[in-house]
Amino acid sequence: MEFEDEMMKSKGKVEEEKEEGNNNKKRKGIILILVGAPGSGKSTFCEHVIRVSTRPWVRVCQDSIGNGKAGTKAQCLALSATSLKDGKSVLIDRCNLNKEQRADFIKLKDSHQVDVHAVVLDLPAKLCISRSVKRTGHEGNLQGGKAAAVVNRMLQKKELPKLNEGFTRITFCQNEIDVQAAMDTYGALSSSDSLPSGCFGEKTTDTKVQLGIMKFLKRVDAPSKVSSDKTIPGPSIETIDVKPSVNEGQEPSETHSLDGIPTLAFPSISTADFQFDIERASDIIVETVEEFVNKIGNGRLVLVDLSRGSKILSLVKGKAAIKNIDPKKFFTFVGDITKLRSGGLHCNVIANAANWRLKPGGGGVNAAIFDAAGPDLDIATKKRAGSLAPGKAIAVPLPSTSKLFSKEGVTHVIHVLGPNMNSKRPNCLKDDYNMGCKVLREAYSSLFENFVSIVRTQGKLSDHDISNCDQKLRKEDSANVAEKNGKFKGYIEENESKRLCLTNGKEKASNNANTGGSMNKDWGSWAQALYNIAMIPEKHRNVVIEISDDVVVLNDVYPKAQKHLLVLARAEGLDRLADVGQEHLSTLRTMHAVGLKWAETFIKENESLVFRLGYHSAPSMRQLHLHVISQDFDSKHLKNKKHWNSFNSPFFRDSEDVIQEISEQGKPTLNDDEKLLSMELRCNRCRSAHPNIPRLKSHIAICKSPFPTHLLQNGRLLHAPMKDDAC
């Protein structure tokens, strides 16, 4: 603890020093060029960043630059130049849809010594058009009927930015989740912070990924082919070359490719940049591994380094052999920790030799991991902690949107801070190896403890969290899920939709007033089952199929279709849609992303499935839950009108719409009129009417009509790509 006190004392000094990697970039301005059609959310982006950021930003908007009225590009350039001269960063809020429009702003970087970034709001054309048409009071008066044609015309000429135009960083946003992540990233940037260079979030043309989920799942409203006017962005900048991933460990190589074994890959902490003596470090690694190797169940620990000639790897390898440590449980591996899977080793957890401010950049393994994970890791890390003490580790669940998750199957990054013996770095211990060894030992212990706890949590979940790219694992999962589903019966009383809470009496009044429904609602004991699972999922391992800090996933015990999952929010007080407000947007986005991941998995196994993700306007069970349901409605549990209409009337609120409404209006619309549930039975595809459930079921089993237009928009339906889709 003495050490931590010492650290606090020197904190003031450290704060003045810049974060590693930012040393030379103190107060470096940024020109952030927004690229996007009208209605893509550029102004909202700018307003958000300006509102939350401590960095001084100036919004340069051509629609209002002439005393609140539209002005010229020259005026925008002039305002940008003066703002940069005043030490401010600028947000260029104009469409900037082609290279020529961007070029003059990029040129400003040379005279002002600043970096130029782009954030591309590459949202579906339909969404931009509908927003532009609907909006009122737009600064440039681009709204109403005329907006559709203008937006369409502009999109025809769209030319996506490339790094070689002069950008240091480009962030591509394809949906609202990406936009929120980019807003968070720029909003969190203080005056002296910098961001890693490169392209982030671009649609990849990489064959492997094309074969994986990114290509696999396609929304019905997305164009089926890349239009000819679209420039496919070049490959992302990689900070680290791919090294040949040669196994130098003791384990036979074929074992490495066995996916599904909980595996922690960790670098040697403190022996590079922090200059810890490697002889002593290797002793500490081997001793701590020996202590933990029997606590990790079927898990494995792997020490990784980039180079074949790594001294720390050979020292550790030798010492582990002398101590007879089981080579199946612990081995060394040469490779880039961010690309192990492509080198044949699947690790669901990786450790990062972090800096104490848990910031991206700085070089070494820290820069490589943050770069490879994309901004998601930084955002997820910030949610957990702002700093880390030496000797401590913190596990950060990786959002499924992160590239490290989708490409490498990494579900967690554990940040570890070791002791620093490098006098050029903050809080140097000089030669105090008494303290140094103690702190390094603590660091590895804390790292392994975090891994043990992840293994325990994921233990009975087989491999659901590990990757959504691995079909083999998914098939096994499906089998397990069926078994778990059986065990779950009896836990939740029959049939949620039997008890759908309709709007009458007190309940209706509270909903209409939007007063945070749950406070006014008495949930019967039968309705608490989901709540109980969400609060302590560890107690319900036999039924849950995925647990993270934010959500729990389980199969609906009375599925109303071939595939029917529930994604539960874990936040206390979030009982149903009526409770949801702007502050829950990130939870809703996480629930959506997890639901999407599962839908993708099921579609991979059965390409005929089509999914819809959404909420009941007035649910019967307590605890906000997202339905992920296939649109076949082929289930013996679907028995009556209420069942059908709860998924096939406006009572069912699509997750995408809910997110959009909350972003725009702060609250979702609740269609909770009970009449909706007693409406006539109509086919969910052709809308034909049917007198009873058996007749409806016989019809939907053969109806091949396309889904109604409103479902084909805004990503409401998820399905496999058409056979002729090029990418």
Q: List contacts with ligand AR6 (CB under 6 A).
A: 20, 240, 267-274, 304-306, 312, 336-338, 353, 355, 362-366, 368, 418
Of 338 and 406, CB closest to ligand AR6: 338
162: closest CA among 233, 113, 238?
A: 233
Q: What amino acid is encoded at 260 in this protein?
A: G
Residue in 171, 202, 176 with CA at minimum distance from that of residue 189: 171
3-state secondary structure at position 549: coil
List 625, 627, 643, 719, catalytic entry: 625
Identify whether the C-beta of residue 511 lies closer than 8 Å to the C-beta of residue 618: yes
Residue type, 373: A
Minimum gap (Å) between residue 372 Cβ and ligand AR6: 8
User: Least distance from C-beta 597 to ligand AR6, angstroms?
Assistant: 26
Provide the 10 A C-beta neighbour count for residue 686: 14
Burial group, residue 162, by CB count within 10 angstroms (0-12, 13-18, 19+): middle
CB of 304 to ligand AR6, least distance (A): 5
Distance between CA 648 and CA 633 in Å, rounded? 10
- Is 168 or 268 the residue whose CB approaches ligand AR6 more closely? 268
DSSP assignment letter at 489: B
Q: Is 249 or 418 the residue whose CB approaches ligand AR6 more closely? A: 418
464 is catalytic: no
Residue 467 CB: number of other CB atoms within 10 A?
25
- Pick the closer one to ligand AR6 by CB: 20 or 93: 20
**Minimum CB separation from ligand AR6 for residue 306, in Å?**
4
Token duo for residue 351: 């450790």
Tell me whether residue 305 or residue 550 sits nearer to ligand AR6 (CB atom): 305
CB 546 within 8 A of CB 463: no
- Residue 699 tokens, joined: 């019809």
Smallest gap from Cβ 262 to ligand AR6, in A, equals: 19
Q: DSSP assignment of 372-424, as one string?
A: HH-HHHHHHHHHH-S---TT-EEEEEPPTTSHHHHHH---EEEEE------TT
Q: CB nearer to ligand AR6: give 192 or 671.
A: 192
Measured between alpha carbons, how far is 463 from 640 in angstroms, rounded to an integer?
Answer: 36
Q: Rounded distance, CA 727 to CA 719, Å?
A: 15
Distance of closest approach, residue 63 Cβ to ligand AR6, in angstroms? 41
DSSP letters for 219-260: ETTS-SS--TTPPPPPPPP-SSPPPP----SSS-HHHHT-TT
Number of helical (H) and strand (E) elements in the chain, helices listed first: 24, 22
Supply the minimum distance, in Å, between the C-beta of residue 184 and ligand AR6. 21
Residue closest to ligand AR6, measured at CB: 364
Closest to ligand AR6 by CB, 31 vs 269, is: 269
Instruction: Tokens 């949801």: give the residue.
Output: 580
Active site residues: 625
